[in-house]
Structure 1
Amino acid sequence: MTVEQLQHLELTYAPPYGSAKDVINQAAFVANNIIKGDATAIHYDEIDNLTEDQILLDVRNPGELESVGYLEGAINIPVDQLRHRMSELPKDKEIVIYCQVGLRGNVAYRQLVNNGYKARNLIGGYRTYKFAKA
């Protein structure tokens, strides 16, 4: 099955218990955007080699940072505050975004790119980075 087919895969839908699109569909949408070049991503093994022209942005809630950890040097702006706090980020640097697993990072990526920022989203989020480095 292709990524494009996964986007349209019909899975069981029970409105009181789940969303209209399954996590499989959502993952396929993100993968297809990367394949088509509509989104740019960064992998966990590139994080330790960021340059001065890149800034880490953690879009998780502060409680998550305290409970599971964070990447050293990251700026924390929760995704639900990003629209109002976007001006805190420089437009002359690439913003490397991460959340816990990637979904909120993708939302933040879209917001930043639509407002003229150069950005990349960490595939798999902090969880993948932490697991790979353990």
Structure 2
Amino acid sequence: MRQVRCDPLLAVAGDDLVRINNGHDADHRPFPPRIIVERATMQLGSGNYNLVLNNCEHFVKWCRYGNRISGQAVAAKSLLLGSALAAMGAPPMVAFGAGIAFLTFATPASKMVNRYFGSNFSFF
């Protein structure tokens, strides 16, 4: 079972390069560091990992911003949408277009909603 753990950064990264990714700070107001750590600590030992609905990107964004946005999951959902439409008999270009449209508009729509409702509102 996958669960939230607290491991030393060097043990996780090994010889790989790491970087801090606060790229959403311009669009979403982050919590103070104390709150981010508190939110992460509250989840120690918890599970229910799901690649599309509750992955590591969802977790860190929830800790930092209070919403569960995952660019990885949005991309996966757009692929699933296109595949489902194709399986239901939609013409290939329609299925492909629907997947691309979802991928194109999901993140900007989420940013717009967060600007209006505040950074702790989750749309996707």
TM over 0.5: no
Larger % of helix: which? Answer: 2
What is the TM-score normalised by the length of structure 2? 0.27
Structure number with higher relative contact order (C-alpha < 8 Å, ≥ 6 residues apart): 2
